[in-house]
């Protein structure tokens, strides 16, 4: 028994079988029925959503011996030949590898001859946007006076790169990404017919990782069957695709959003211990935060592709969290993502971003970040002083406003800067600043009353932040030197 990959085995053979592109297939069927066949079609859309497949079905519908018919018989020589890919009059050309003028001239010569086997001669040019300018000009000449009974179907993922002169001579159809729900139902039905069992978590993961491309989804299915046999489970797919568990991401988000920095760092550590790379973790966390932001803002349409189990975790993480806090964390982490990709110490950058986010998510507007990180380091130095001179000395600096600068050492002097009243003109210009400073103050007052153990933990975290800032600035100066 020969082995066929799913993408070939399950390829739709009729318009009805094409998934989620009814706006295209219904129009094409009507055109065939009413005998209004165009000379050139442009099928635009993302990869793996059925463009070439639909082109072949169109060829079959037009050349079926019992047609032209919107429902080709699938049993005549023409139908079988097209299904097998060896029909003489249906020619598939890959625009990416045949992009020159010679290929198109050759095509032009051959297009003159009548169809050998069928009614129509059909040229399917894949990735047509890859053709050279000269080749497009040659193609344009054919389209200006198309030979009778010749039909072109151009497929492209980048219609913007197709010249307007070509576009204006084509009937254009835009193919869409396949929605997760449609893909999931289809995969589960087809898998069952092959005796493959696949759990709902695995289905959700395949659909999400495919980005709406059926070809990509089926290729993951192929890999899974050769790896795990006929019983596919979510956990195995995660391992294969390097996807981070949602509950780990949810715990990380919850720890950050409730300001529990130590716990957040432990989550990061656990992820590394499980073998995820920094990129995998960051990408997964950014996409989790994006979904969390959608939940907190109530944008339900943007969450169509999210599985039920992940929705449950998102709901848990979103409890009592304002959207602006999630937005702040998302900004900090995406910023770090960019920085980490260009660094030799990506892990430190990610960890310091996690710490920053857990300290700042609730209290601040991220636009103020640069000045805030300065303040944190001032405050951290003050905490260091507190460690050396004892908590009594540090008491005034924590409340800030009651500080007597004359009686204090360097610590209190620096801490006063931390809670300084804003310049009245600045305050007028930025009415929000007062509210934010109030919130900083109340946060500090709150921290002043926490139990010693918690304060000790906080100091640990602050020291870690400082170490990381040191490491980053060291690295930066190294990079420059």
Residues that bind Zn ion (CB under 5 A): 64, 72-73, 76, 79
Closest to Zn ion by CB, 79 vs 187, is 79
Q: How many angstroms separate the CA atoms of 237 and 28, rounded? A: 38
C-alpha count within 13 angstroms, C-beta hemisphere, residue 208: 24
Q: Minimum distance between the CB of residue 62 and Zn ion, rounded to whole angstroms?
A: 10
Report the alpha-carbon angle 184-252-301, nearest 5: 40
Which is nearer to Zn ion, 72 or 259 (by Cβ)?
A: 72
Looking at the Cβ atoms of 73 and 240, the one nearer to Zn ion is 73
Q: For residue 192, what are the contacts with CB-CB under 8 A and spacing of at least 6?
A: none
CA distance linking residue 305 with residue 218, whole number of Å: 17
Closer CB to Zn ion, residue 72 or residue 396? 72
C-beta closer to Zn ion: residue 66 or 319 = 66
Q: How far apart are CA 63 and CA 138, in angstroms?
A: 26
In contact, 73 and 43? CB cutoff 8 Å: no
Task: Tell me the closest approach of the beta carbon of residue 64 to Zn ion, in angstroms.
Answer: 3
Find residue 312's DSSP bridge partners: none
State the nearest-atom distance from the C-beta of 38 to Zn ion, in Å: 21
Residue 244 backbone dihedrals phi, psi, to 5 degrees:
-80, 140
Query: Which is closer to Zn ion, CB of 120 or CB of 276?
Result: 120
Q: How far is the CB of 118 from Zn ion (least distance, A)?
A: 10
Closest distance to Zn ion from the beta carbon of 77 (Å): 8
Rg for the chain (alpha carbons), in Å? 31
Contact 43, 155 (CB under 8 A): yes
Smallest gap from residue 80 Cβ to Zn ion (A): 8
Token duo for residue 238? 């995660």
Nearest distance from residue 79's CB to Zn ion, in Å? Answer: 3
* Angle at which helices 261-273 and 246-257 cross, to 10°: 160
Query: Cβ of 184: how many Cβ atoms within 10 Å?
Result: 21
- The residue assigned the tokens 């197709």 is 162
115 vs 457, which CB is nearer to Zn ion?
Answer: 115
């Amino acid at each position: 028994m020969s082995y066929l990959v799913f993408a070939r085995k399950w390829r739709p053979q009729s318009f009805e079988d094409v998934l989620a592109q009814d706006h295209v297939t219904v129009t094409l069927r009507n055109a065939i029925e009413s005998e209004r066949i165009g000379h050139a079609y442009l099928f635009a859309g993302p990869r793996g959503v059925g463009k070439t497949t639909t082109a072949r079905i169109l060829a079959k519908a037009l050349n079926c011996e019992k047609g032209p018919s919107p429902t080709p018989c699938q049993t005549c020589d023409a139908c079988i030949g097209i299904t097998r890919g060896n029909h003489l009059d249906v020619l598939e050309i890959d625009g990416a590898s045949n992009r020159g003028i010679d290929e198109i001239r050759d095509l032009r010569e051959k297009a003159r001859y009548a169809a050998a086997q069928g009614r129509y001669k059909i040229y399917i040019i894949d990735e047509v946007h890859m053709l050279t300018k000269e080749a497009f000009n040659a193609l344009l000449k054919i389209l200006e006076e198309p030979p009778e009974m010749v039909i072109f179907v151009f497929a492209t993922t980048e219609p913007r790169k197709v010249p307007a002169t070509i576009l204006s001579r084509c009937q254009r159809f835009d193919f869409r990404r396949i929605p997760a729900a449609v893909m999931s139902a289809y995969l589960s039905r087809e898998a069952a017919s092959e005796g493959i069992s696949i759990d709902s978590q695995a289905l959700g993961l395949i659909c999400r990782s495919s980005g709406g491309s059926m070809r990509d989804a089926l290729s993951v299915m192929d890999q899974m069957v050769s790896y795990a046999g006929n019983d596919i489970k979510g956990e195995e797919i995660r391992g294969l695709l390097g996807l981070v568990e949602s509950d780990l991401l949810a715990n990380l988000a919850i720890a950050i959003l409730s300001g529990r920095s130590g716990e957040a760092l432990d989550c990061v550590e656990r992820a590394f211990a499980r073998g995820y790379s920094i990129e995998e973790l960051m990408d997964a966390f950014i996409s989790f935060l994006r979904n969390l932001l959608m939940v907190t803002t109530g944008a339900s349409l943007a969450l169509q592709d999210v599985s039920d189990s992940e929705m449950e975790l998102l709901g848990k993480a979103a409890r009592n969290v304002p959207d602006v806090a999630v937005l702040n964390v998302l900004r900090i982490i995406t910023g770090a993502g960019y920085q980490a990709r260009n660094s030799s110490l990506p892990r430190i950058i990610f960890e310091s971003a996690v710490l920053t986010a857990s300290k700042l998510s609730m209290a601040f507007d991220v636009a103020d970040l640069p000045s805030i990180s300065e303040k944190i380091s001032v405050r951290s130095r003050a905490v260091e002083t507190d460690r050396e001179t004892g908590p009594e000395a540090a008491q005034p600096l924590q409340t800030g406003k009651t500080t007597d600068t004359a009686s204090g050492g360097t610590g209190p002097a620096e801490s006063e800067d931390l809670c300084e009243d804003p310049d009245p003109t600045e305050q007028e210009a930025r009415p929000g600043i007062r509210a934010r400073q109030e919130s900083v103050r109340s946060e500090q007052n709150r921290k002043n009353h926490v139990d010693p153990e918690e304060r000790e933990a906080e100091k640990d975290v602050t020291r870690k932040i400082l170490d990381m800032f040191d490491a980053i600035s060291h690295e930066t100066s190294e990079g420059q030197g």
